[in-house]
Chain A
């Protein structure tokens, strides 16, 4: 069964500092990989996704993520954090291409990001 580990429950960074959120997954092949962001009381917004190809993926709001097959990781990064980035971030894995498209997705527990002035 697929699983996702986000080892950091809470992270606090200063505004303007760089950010890296960790994500490790367990899956038999290369899955679909996603990062979503959720503001309090809101739904999920997709930041970026990896299906295949270039292992460095650019997303919205200045985020990027790098897929590392050897480490089963898909860490999210941002060079300079803004106060509006404070939210909860979820890494997720889905069935890989070839199985009919997006189906059920397994989410990690989430990392709550706090940004201090």
Chain B
């Protein structure tokens, strides 16, 4: 068990470009979460999946954002037509669907839009 893995760790992109991030959860964790963390703030919930079903999306997830988890394993987060305000750390986490449990976080993908 290598923990939650995120790729890439860093991404610099020009404004207007599309970017895609990948998250591989801990095996057997069928819940997967995406959070966004801007400088000086705590993480903010974006969306979560149980298996391949996207069960909840935050209002923060604008139309330019889309998340998928097609086979219930890894997930991708795509941002279209990036804006400077999208610069942030994107964190992925996973958990078991149990009552008294917690999520384990990956090391994040740092996105810089120039």
Contacts and interface: CB of A to CB of B under 8 A. Distances in A.
Interface stretch (A11-19, A66-74, A95-103): A95-103
Contacts of B113: none
Interface string B24-64: 00000001010000001111110010000000101000000
Interface residues of B, number: 30
A43 B105 contact: yes
A41 B110 contact: yes
A98 B41 contact: no
A42 interface: yes
Contacts of B106: 43
Interface string A49-72: 101100000000000000000000
Interface string A93-115: 00001101111111111100000
B56 A102 contact: no
Contacts of A116: none
B91 interface: yes
Contacts of B97: 100-101
B42 A43 contact: no
Contacts of B104: 46
Contact of B102 (A4, A49, A100, A104): A49
Nearest to A100: B97
B89 to A, nearest CB: 8
